[in-house]
Chain A
């Protein structure tokens, strides 16, 4: 079989280049946007995904991790009564006002008071063991490398949070927060930093189960008891999703992603279809001749669709290469980007869908390939 579609694409590559670029940039734009949004909003659930707790216990109605209110510390004993629960530890969230040694003004920080023991659940995946151990020192804090400039401190230096002095004992990475700066310290330090007299207990209790796969069932089972004051429970997975979703919709970012996807699709499809239409028009007499010789319209349509497919595939290839380079570059600059498999598949579907729609639009111009018009 003579590969008419491919040979034409190669020989007349200049003609098809705008379409390939349009498809490629559409894909790239969508990919980077998704990676950025996932990266940025993924950080809102860092507290959960970076820890090894299976069930979270917090104030009812909490919409994201950063919005918890304190619960009664006695809830811990209720949770421990459940045979599925192996361990429980408190987690204290304090909103703080940071003043560094240099002129930084007030910086809003999210203080996470955690159990600094080596087998502590909170931030077990995000915080290296040696840094965790250092938190046991009084008034010791760990901050993220990318926040140092903003905080105006270096390692070993002191600053104040809510008027209390703290000392930076370690610098970690991957702790960036959205809308503020994460500061990690021990539970004791956190209690000292908390200036709110109403906070009587921890913000959350986090539990480790004997069988982590039971998280959803246990979370449901532990709910609804009010003997120790108001609290509710979530599985870690559920709470992480709740946090990300809250940010996505509260900030309108989710709508933004969809809106941009629509725009990208539309602009990409317009450019690509126009290019493909021009390519069909450029060969319309040849197509008409093939039809005169008895090659069916269906076969000619397949040629156009195949061209659209290759335009999509080449655009996708270019977008993937450039996308990987840019994502690596972003990572190296501490820009939070995350690319998940469903997101990548979504981009592929968008790009190939765009190419397919353009191909279908271009197929319509084959109507002009009427062999009778060749007889003049």
Chain B
């Protein structure tokens, strides 16, 4: 990497807020047991950054991700994503919002066994109103971007775990979302594959200006994030910025 990149990445110069949570609270009720998962939490996430939420299991980090991505409703407070208040959107509008603006990468790869890597990526694009030509073009280029240009025709059963996760990332990436949510994307992978996924997420934030919000307790991710939020018991304990973000790749972390 060039030293010039270490100084000020252009997006960091005037960050806009991509996601904003204002004193949000969320509780789960199971029988008579009520568990407060998020309690008056506020934060904002800048666009074009790779933000990592880490914390012990049960600290509410996945719930925070679900709430910020519009997959789950909150009990109180408000969530603004790209300027839209998610609480005001009905189910259909939320689906449209997610279709237009968000990508997801989950811990399990969740690929259809019957479809080839290429079709997995093309499928959601079919629903975005793109022409067939453009959908296929986007699918091809995003699979190339994750280094799977030679594996496009293969089904999940013929791919390794790391490759499957890369297909899942390509599926999210091909939508060209402003927001990319990743939930423990490396936890089912070995070290080498995990590192590759981290690098890809990293690059997406950098080159596409995508806001990447990642939930993970994988320590390898910490050094790659622009910002690390540590959570515990539904609250944010610490909020750290890596001052040599993103481009601080393997050379610096080792």
| Chain A residues in the interface with B (C-beta under 8 A) | 1-2, 4, 7-8, 10-12, 283, 285-286, 288-297, 299, 371-372, 374-376
Contacts and interface: CB of A to CB of B under 8 A. Distances in A.
Contacts, number: 97
Contact of A293 (B102, B122, B155, B183): B102
Contacts of B107: 376
Interface in B182-225: 183, 215
B62 interface: yes
Given A12-B113, A375-B106, A294 B71 contact: no
A374 B124 contact: no
A2 B115 contact: yes
B242 interface: no
Given A374-B106, A375-B63, 19 more contacts: A1-B126, A2-B123, A4-B114, A4-B115, A8-B114, A10-B114, A283-B113, A286-B111, A289-B110, A293-B104, A294-B99, A295-B99, A295-B127, A296-B92, A296-B99, A299-B127, A374-B104, A375-B65, A376-B183
A10 to B, nearest CB: 7
A374 B110 contact: yes
Given A286-B110, A293-B98, A372 B115 contact: no
B112 A283 contact: yes
Nearest to A371: B71
Interface in B112-155: 112-115, 119, 122-124, 126-128, 132, 155
Interface string B158-195: 00000000000001100100000001000000000000
21 contacts: A2-B115, A2-B119, A2-B123, A4-B114, A7-B112, A8-B112, A11-B113, A12-B113, A293-B99, A294-B127, A294-B175, A295-B99, A296-B92, A296-B99, A297-B91, A297-B95, A374-B183, A375-B63, A375-B71, A376-B62, A376-B107
A294 B100 contact: yes
A2 B175 contact: no
Contacts of B122: 2
A311 B1 CA distance: 56
B44 interface: no
Nearest to B155: A11
A4 B115 CA distance: 7
B244 interface: no
B205 to A, nearest CB: 19
A294 B98 contact: yes
B66 to A, nearest CB: 5
Nearest to A10: B114
A289 to B, nearest CB: 4
B103 interface: yes
Given A12-B114, A372-B72, A375-B71, A293 B175 contact: yes
Contacts of A293: 98-99, 102-104, 124, 171-172, 175
Contact of A294 (B102, B106, B115): B102
Contacts of A372: 66, 71-72
Interface centre among B102, B127, B155 (most CB of A within 10 A): B127
A294 B94 CA distance: 8
Contacts of A2: 115, 119, 122-123, 126
A290 B92 CA distance: 14
B114 A374 contact: no
Nearest to A9: B114
Chain B interface size, as a band, is: 35 or more
> What 8 A-B pairs are tightest by C-beta distance, nearest first?
A294-B99, A11-B114, A294-B98, A289-B110, A8-B114, A375-B62, A7-B114, A2-B123
Contact of B112 (A4, A294, A375): A4
Interface string B37-55: 0000000000000000000
A295 B108 contact: no
Nearest to A288: B110
Contacts of B66: 372, 375
Contacts of A292: 69, 71, 98, 102, 104, 106
Nearest to A5: B114
Given A7-B115, A286-B112, A376-B62, A295 B92 contact: no
Given A286-B110, A293-B172, A376-B62, A4 B123 contact: yes
Nearest to B63: A375
Interface in B73-116: 91-92, 95-100, 102-104, 106-108, 110-115
Contacts of B104: 289, 292-293, 371, 374
B76 to A, nearest CB: 18
A294 B92 contact: no
Given A7-B115, A12-B114, A290 B124 contact: yes
B113 A285 contact: no
B167 to A, nearest CB: 12
A96 B98 CA distance: 83
Contacts of B63: 375
Contacts of B65: 375
A294 B110 contact: no
B62 A294 contact: no
Nearest to A1: B126
A13 to B, nearest CB: 10
Interface centre among B62, B92, B102, B114 (most CB of A within 10 A): B114
A299 B108 CA distance: 23
A290 B123 contact: yes
Contacts of B62: 375-376
Contacts of A294: 95-100, 102, 124, 127-128, 175
A362 to B, nearest CB: 17
Contacts of A291: 95
A18 to B, nearest CB: 18
A292 B114 CA distance: 20
